[in-house]
Chains A and B, each alone.
Chain A
Amino acid sequence: AAGVIQSPRHLIKEKRETATLKCYPIPRHDTVYWYQQGPGQDPQFLISFYEKMQSDKGSIPDRFSAQQFSDYHSELNMSSLELGDSALYFCASRRLAGAKETQYFGPGTRLLVL
Chain B
Amino acid sequence: DAKTTQPTSMDCAEGRAANLPCNHSTISGNEYVYWYRQIHSQGPQYIIHGLKNNETNEMASLIITEDRKSSTLILPHATLRDTAVYYCIVRASMDTGRRALTFGSGTRLQVQP
List residues of chain A with CB under 8 Å of any chain B CB.
4, 31, 33, 35, 42-45, 48, 50, 55-56, 58, 88, 90, 92, 94, 96, 99-108, 110
A48 CB contacts on chain B under 8 angstroms? 98-100
Other A-B pairs beyond A42-B106, A48-B98, A48-B99, 9, CB < 8 Å: A42-B85, A45-B100, A45-B102, A56-B100, A92-B44, A96-B98, A102-B46, A105-B44, A107-B42
CB distance A42 to B43 under 8 Å?
no
Known: A43-B103, A101-B49. A4 touches B43 (CB 8 A): yes
A31 CB contacts on chain B under 8 angstroms? 98
Tally of B interface residues using CB under 8 Å: 24
Chain B nearest CB from A67 CB (Å) reads: 16
Residue from A55, A90, A101 within 8 A of B34 (CB atoms): A101
A58 CB contacts on chain B under 8 angstroms? 100
Residue of B nearest to A46 (CB): B100
B101 within 8 A of A: yes
Encode B53-66 as 1/0 by CB contact (under 8 A) with A: 00000000000000
Of residues 68 through 107 on chain B, the ones whose CB sits less than 8 Å from some CB of chain A are 85, 87, 93-95, 98-106
Known: A42-B103, A101-B93, A101-B95. A90 touches B44 (CB 8 A): yes
Rounded to whole angstroms, the CA-CA distance of A35 and B41 in the bound complex is 13
Rounded to whole angstroms, the CA-CA distance of A88 and B99 in the bound complex is 21
B45 within 8 A of A: yes
Rounded to whole angstroms, the CA-CA distance of A110 and B40 in the bound complex is 13
* Interface core residue of B44, B102, B103, B105 (most chain A CB under 10 Å): B44
Known: A94-B94, A96-B98. A108 touches B42 (CB 8 A): yes
